Structure formats: C-alpha cells, structure tokens
Structure 1
C-alpha cells in the first residue's frame, strides 16, 4: 500500500492555486510531466466533476477521473487506468485552505500496485517516494510562479 501525503504553504491566493491545480491540460508545464491532456470534459465545467485527464511522466501514463470538484477548496480524483504499472487507486485528494492570504495545500493519494508480492514490497514504496517528490515539486512550482 502506498500512502502519499504532502503539505505546503503557498504564497498565492487560494483561487490562483486551485486554478493551477485543476487546469489539467497544462500539467505538462510541471517538472517531470511530459504531456497532459483532457480526455473528457466535466459535466458542468471543463475541468470539473467527471473530467478525465491523461498525465504522461516518462514511461508512465495515468488516466485520472475528477470525482470531487469544489472550488476553491477541494479537488479529488481516482486513477482509472495506468501503465505500465497497474494502479489500484483508492483516492487522490487536494485540499486547500486560506491562511492569512496564503494557501495551505494538502495533497494525499492512497492505493497499491496490483502486482502480487512485488507490488507491495517494491513498487508501492517507489510510488510513495517518487509521488511525494512529484507532488511537492508541483506545489513548489505554483508557489514560485
């Protein structure tokens, strides 16, 4: 089981941070993300509830469905498809709160890699390590813009 949890204070208004995190098509602007695109628009907003985004990072491809969209506080997703590793994703959630004009971002993801023995003992640990680094890097990039 991997459980990634990253928290960061960002010196930007909450709406600006939410907009950057929910703009799926521009994730390729973040370090480590090679390509990103919106596969399906959300039901009421382009990047909102029901939207399906594709993220490509190296050889990894993830399709993430937006399952909660409550601007500017909550964005949650579920990985529906992944390759080359088979994710069994329980949830991904970004929670934002305003603190003195700044934004506290909490990003959490949990699941496991569906490969018996190797998934639990090797891949889950790698996903946790690199996922925390990637989430932190995305939040840092938003802060530095």
Structure 2
C-alpha cells in the first residue's frame, strides 16, 4: 500500500476553506474532474458521514463513501468501487490554522489492483497522475476562495499599450459578433449554453453615441426576476464598454432564449458582491481566474425587472 500526500496553504479562515472542500461539487471547477454526483446524502448533511458520491475524473470513475466530516478539521472518504480498480484504504483532507491562512493536506492510501508490479505502477504512474489532479483542485480552491488580485505592476503606456488594447478589443468583438449571429440565426437555440452558463444578449444605450449597443454575455446566475452579470473583460485591466454604458443608463434590455424584455441594471454593492461571488465562482471558475489577472476589482452587475427595481428604491 502506497501513500500520496499533497498540500497547500490557502489564505482564508479555516471554516471557509473547510466549507468549500466539504462540497465536492466545487471540485468540478477543475478540468480533471468531469462529474460529481451525490448518490446518497448523509444523515446529518448532504456530504455527511455515510453519504455516497460518484466522482468521474479524467483518469477513472469511482464510487466513494464519506467516512469523516469533522468540521473544520477533517474530511475523509473511502473508495468502494471504480474503474480502473484500486485497493483503497481511505483518503482524507485535513485542515489546520497557520500564519496567513489554512494548511490543507490531501492524503490517500491506495494501490493499483493488478497482479504484479502493483507498487511500482502505483508510485511511478498512478500517483503521478493523481498528484497533478489533486494539486490542481487545491490551486483552484485557492483562487476560488481568495480570488487574489495581482499586485501593482508595470503600467503599459504609449503606442504598445494602445496597440495591445486595440487588438484585444477587436478579438473580443469578433468572437462576440460571431456568437451574436449564431444566436440570431437560430432564434437563440444554438450556442446558448457554454461552461454550464446561459448566453444572453445585453442591449444598452451608448453613453457617448446615444445609439443602441448589444453584446453577448455568459450568465453565471439567473433567477426569474434577477440576472447576475460579471464585468470581467477576460481579466483585462479596463472595465468593459457595456458596463460603462449600463452605469450611465441603467434602463437596459436582455434577450433570453430569443425573447427581449426591459430590465434595470446596477452595480452590486460590496456587501452584495461578497455574498454573490462564491456562487459566481462555483458556477464558473473562470471568473476567479480572471480576477487573478488584474488589480481591478471586477464588478458584479445585478439586473432586475423594472417592477422589482422600483420596489428596491
């Protein structure tokens, strides 16, 4: 039997870190985990002791039973079956307070279920693949929980900055124009979902031209009377134009599933963003990655139906 151990320090309180890892649905933000299914909830919590989950990774699919849920110190499980088959004596995540945050240690005790060279294959092949996957989940957790922004760096100025910004904007514009055509031709039936998010069209009034402007955006959170947008611009240091236009004229239109209706948009307050951001990142981890690319505090926009927005005033 072999033991694999990986660890990472995450700059957040232990309770926050534990809560993220105790819900393995969060792990699907990693490209290594294809699917997480809660087959049977635990007695005291969805992922409590006795819960059964199915984890489908790039390297295999396994049914696991939760054996420990000792918040905020330890979360454990054992593999009951899976492909490729392994002999498993248990795995656990342990959490401890350290200067600067929380140390997370991921340990698993396993061996390849093969008739010969099991130790060699486990150590030199299986654990190398597992180690990469586990470290990736730890890294993603770090970004998702803390969303660290880069430090102040060298500011681009002059012609090089203008050329870079122009080319970047043209590429984004081209991609969104193509997407707009696809949605328009199909009546909103094609290309309307990606990364688990719905695609909508936002229509705003240009703050300088006064003309109607449209852009295709991905929506991490959508409710009957509220749509949440993220002004990420792929992590660029500049706010997107649609966001600037929305701030100037909050009365907007959204096209959802081919239907265009009036809405009212506004920037989420710091308190509102603190509540929404973990849900946004859970819906699509890419937004947390974008935040690491810029020192700009990426704005979150709340769109409400006119009646709901009027009541809030």
Q: Does TM-score exceed 0.5, indicating one fold?
A: yes
Aligned residue for 2:38, secondary structure, equals strand
Match of 2:97 in 1: 98
Match of 1:139 in 2: 138
Match of 1:115 in 2: 114
**8 Å contact from structure 1 (residues 2, 127) kept in 2:** no
Match of 2:45 in 1: 45
**8 Å contact from structure 2 (residues 112, 121) kept in 1:** no
Match of 2:126 in 1: 127
Higher strand proportion (structure 1 or 2): 1
- Which sections of structure 2, spanning at least 5 residues, go unmatched? 145-313
Cα deviation for residue 118 of structure 1 reads: 4.4
**8 Å contact from structure 2 (residues 29, 140) kept in 1:** no
Partners of 1:33 and 1:112 in 2: CA distance: 21
| Inter-CA distance 117–97: structure 2 relative to 1 (3 Å threshold) | same
- Give a deviation string over 1:31-60, Cα, whole Å, max 9, x none: 211111101101111111111111111251
**8 Å contact from structure 1 (residues 34, 58) kept in 2:** yes
- Which sections of structure 1, spanning at least 5 residues, go unmatched? none
Match of 2:87 in 1: 88
Aligned residue for 2:108, secondary structure, equals strand
Give TM-score, length-normalised by structure 1.
0.91
**8 Å contact from structure 2 (residues 32, 57) kept in 1:** yes
Larger radius of gyration: 2
**8 Å contact from structure 1 (residues 2, 125) kept in 2:** no
Give TM-score, length-normalised by structure 2.
0.44
- Give a deviation string over 1:9-43, Cα, whole Å, max 9, x none: 11122122111111123322222111111011011
| Inter-CA distance 15–31: structure 2 relative to 1 (3 Å threshold) | farther
Higher helix proportion (structure 1 or 2): 2
Partners of 1:112 and 1:59 in 2: CA distance: 15
Match of 2:68 in 1: 68
Partners of 2:18 and 2:112 in 1: CA distance: 28
Match of 2:56 in 1: 56
Give the root-mean-square deviation of aligned CA atoms: 1.5
Answer with 104-113 or 122-131: which moved more: 122-131
Structure of higher RCO (CA pairs closer than 8 Å, 6+ residues apart) = 1
Match of 2:3 in 1: 3
